[in-house]
């Protein structure tokens, strides 16, 4: 395990030891039998010895330290303060990055000539410059804290979208939205409030020791499952949890499978709406935003969603598909409640998912109220004045998309090998949801 810190205030790379902020995690990993290091990459963020170029110094530091590790593992003494002979395995390495390093670890994975990278954990990542290469095809976990007062746009949402839309990637990706988390709580070296924190949210932020307990739990699970199965911790679970290690989350997972529906500007053309209004909307981060007050984590020029609104219980949309679900593990739906829409009445939503086969037989499974992806996110609609235009509406709380997973076997005796329709029926008297994707997962 190699842990890299971010670009927090740097005067001297030698004096600002942000690497020590993850000593608690190094100790826990070591106690579990892993060789763990938290590296000081402050030089990458410092103007000492000239202006740094991207994360090139981070790559160099990791490579130089890895050379020393290799020597120590072969028995050379005096390099590290402990005996590393015959310990560790540089072909089975997992990188953990926080803040700037949450993005830089992808560059390290792409450029390393020494390490065999098996997995990547990106925590509260900050996207400063685009990746120079294709993201590594290894399992990845992304954590975005709700009240990040440093990376206020929650760039992990952008990173997840980049990984999801990289054709060469077949490995899974978790993204976990940690309720009440902030940027600095992952590190014991960051004791001040986040620099751009909203003062109103400071009392809501979880205690640092709680945030570190959550982080430790996920990292430990990630290492174990990736090294044993090549999967992320959430990639194979039947139902995505509303808590992790006892702390509230919203989770979404991308994994290999067949896309049955994907929101695009014209994807509503084939939808059959019954007592619903389905629209294509753009949840981007620019003035082209057409998704009302709905605000997702990340920054996008274009982010297509299908908004479905209704005013009557039993309203539905039907999506024509041609799918063989007989050999798949899950039917996966990525969606969220549009919490800023008054139709939701500040309540959780529920829905019924119905499959129809080529013989005209139907079978249904209910997605109950309280399912994280359908919960109402507490917040208010804010008006942001725009010169010469109508005010921009923005919900005060980010609303991440969540993943709902259904077992095809739960749909009963229909012919799963010839599914022709997926119907979403909404149980509440009114509401509004945002739909991104329906996928079959193998």
In tens, the pLDDT along 410-427 reads 998 899 999 999 999 999
Q: How many domains does the chain have?
A: 2
Q: Which residues, other chains included, contact 390 with Cβ-Cβ below 8 Å and sequence gap of 6+?
A: none
Question: Based on the domain organization, do 296 and 404 belong to the same domain?
Answer: yes
Identify whether the C-beta of residue 144 lies closer than 8 Å to the C-beta of residue 176: yes
User: Do residues 264 and 148 share a domain?
Assistant: no
* One domain for residues 208 and 95: yes
Cα–Cα distance between 84 and 152 in angstroms, integer?
40
Torsion from C-alpha of 111, 115, 119, 124, nearest 10 degrees: -60
Query: What's the domain range around 390?
Result: 258-441
CA separation for the pair 126, 411 (Å, rounded): 42
Quick: pLDDT tens for 88-147. 999 999 999 999 999 999 999 999 999 999 999 999 999 988 888 899 999 999 999 999
Q: Determine the Cα–Cα distance for residues 159 and 172; give it in Å rounded to an integer.
A: 13
State pTM to two decimals: 0.95
- Nearest of 248, 249, 126, 245 to residue 183 by alpha carbon: 126
Last residue of a domain, one of 234, 255, 276: 255
Residue 386: beta bridge partners? 389
Confidence of residue 385 (pLDDT cuts 50, 70, 90): confident
pLDDT digits (tens, 9 = 90+) for 5-50: 998 876 665 677 899 999 999 999 999 999 999 999 988 887 676 6
Share of the chain above pLDDT 90, in %: 84
Q: Which residues pair with 18 in a beta bridge?
A: none
Q: What is the pLDDT of residue 39?
A: 95
One domain, residues 106 and 181: yes
CATH number, position 90? 3.40.50.1820
CATH of the domain at 416: 2.60.120.260
The rounded distance, in Å, linking the Cα atoms of 36 and 17 is: 17
The token pair that represents 47 in the structure block: 């103007």
**CA–CA gap between residue 430 and residue 310 (Å, rounded):** 5
pLDDT of the residue at 42: 87
């Amino acid at each position: 395990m190699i842990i890299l810190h971010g670009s927090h205030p740097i005067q001297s790379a030698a004096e600002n030891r942000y690497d020590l902020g993850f000593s608690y995690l190094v100790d826990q990993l070591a106690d579990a039998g892993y060789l763990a290091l938290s590296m000081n990459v402050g030089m990458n963020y410092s103007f000492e010895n000239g202006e740094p170029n991207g994360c090139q110094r981070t790559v160099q530091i990791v490579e130089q330290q890895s050379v020393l590790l290799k020597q120590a593992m072969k028995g050379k003494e005096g390099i590290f303060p402990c005996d590393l002979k015959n310990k560790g395995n540089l072909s089975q390495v997992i990188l953990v990055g926080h803040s700037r390093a949450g993005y830089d670890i992808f560059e390290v994975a792409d450029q390393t000539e020494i390490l065999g990278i098996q997995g990547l954990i990106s925590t509260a990542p900050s996207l400063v410059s685009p990746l120079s290469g294709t993201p590594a095809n290894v399992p990845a976990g992304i954590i975005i804290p709700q009240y990040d007062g440093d990376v206020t746009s929650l760039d992990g949402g952008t990173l997840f979208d980049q990984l999801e839309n990289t054709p060469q990637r077949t490995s899974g990706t978790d993204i976990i939205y940690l309720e009440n988390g902030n940027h600095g709580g992952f590190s014991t070296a960051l004791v001040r409030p986040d620099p751009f924190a909203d003062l109103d949210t400071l009392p809501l932020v979880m205690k640092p020791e709680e945030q570190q307990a959550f982080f430790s739990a996920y990292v430990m699970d990630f290492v174990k499952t990736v090294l044993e199965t090549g999967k992320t911790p959430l990639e194979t679970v039947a139902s995505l949890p509303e808590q992790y290690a006892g702390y509230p989350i919203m989770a979404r997972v991308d994994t290999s499978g067949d896309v049955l529906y994907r929101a695009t500007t014209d994807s509503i053309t084939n939808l059959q709406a019954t007592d619903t209004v389905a629209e294509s909307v753009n949840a981007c981060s620019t003035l082209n935003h057409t998704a009302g007050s709905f605000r997702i984590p990340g920054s996008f020029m274009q982010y297509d969603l299908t908004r479905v609104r209704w005013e009557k219980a039993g309203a539905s949309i039907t999506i024509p598909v041609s799918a063989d679900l007989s050999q798949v593990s899950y039917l996966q739906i990525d969606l969220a409640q549009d919490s800023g829409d008054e139709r939701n009445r500040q309540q959780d939503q529920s829905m019924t998912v119905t499959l129809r086969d080529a013989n005209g037989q139907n079978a249904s499974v209910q997605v109950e109220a309280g399912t994280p992806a359908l919960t109402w996110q507490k917040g208010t609609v804010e008006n942001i004045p725009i010169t010469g235009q109508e005010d921009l509406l923005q919900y005060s709380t980010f609303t991440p998309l969540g993943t709902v997973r259904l077992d095809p076997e739960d749909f009963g005796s229909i012919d799963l090998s010839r599914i022709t329709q997926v119907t979403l029926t909404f149980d509440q008297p009114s509401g509004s949801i945002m739909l991104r994707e329906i996928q079959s997962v193998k």
